Amino acid sequence: MLRLNLSPRLALWAALPLLTLVLLAVLMPFGWRSVGLLQSCLQGEACAWQELLSDDYYLRALWSTVWLAGVSSLVGMLIGMGAAVALAEIPRWRPAVSLLSSLGANFAGVPLALAMTLLFGAQGVIRGVFEAAGLQLPFDLYRNSGLLVAYVCFQAPLACLLLLAPVQLLEGGLMEAATTLGASPGFFWRRVGLPMLLPSLLEVGSLLFANAAAAYATPFALSGTAANVLAVRVAALVSGDIFAQPELSALLALLMFFMLVATIVATRILAARLRRGLA
One DSSP character per residue, 206-246 reads HHHHHHHHT--HHHHHHHGGGS-SHHHHHHHHHH-SSS--H
Mean pLDDT computed over every residue of the chain: 84
The amino acid present at 188, given as its one-letter code, is: F
Q: What is the pLDDT of residue 205?
A: 94
* pLDDT higher at 73 or 57: 73
Helices then strands, counting H and E runs in the chain, come out as 14, 0
**50-278: CATH topology:** MetI-like fold (1.10.3720)
Q: What is the pLDDT of residue 46?
A: 64
Q: Per the confidence metrics, is the pTM higher than 0.75?
A: yes
Name the maximum alpha-carbon separation found in the chain: 72
Which of the four pLDDT bands, split at 50, 70 and 90, describes residue 172? low
- Give the start-to-end residue ranges of the domains of the chain: 50-278
Q: What is the pLDDT of residue 166?
A: 86
* pLDDT higher at 106 or 2: 106
Tell me the pLDDT tens digit for each residue of 36-54: 777 777 666 667 777 777 7
Q: What is the pLDDT of residue 22?
A: 80
Q: What is the pLDDT of residue 160?
A: 93
% of the chain with per-residue pLDDT over 90: 29
Q: How far apart are CA 260 and CA 147, in angstroms?
A: 20
Q: What is the pLDDT of residue 240?
A: 65
Q: What is the pLDDT of residue 177?
A: 73
State the average pLDDT over residues 81-100. Answer: 87
Q: What is the pLDDT of residue 1?
A: 47
Tell me the pLDDT tens digit for each residue of 239-254: 766 567 777 888 888 8
Q: Residue 186 phi/psi, 5° resolution?
A: -65, -40
State the average pLDDT over residues 129-133. Answer: 88
Which of the four pLDDT bands, split at 50, 70 and 90, describes residue 6? low
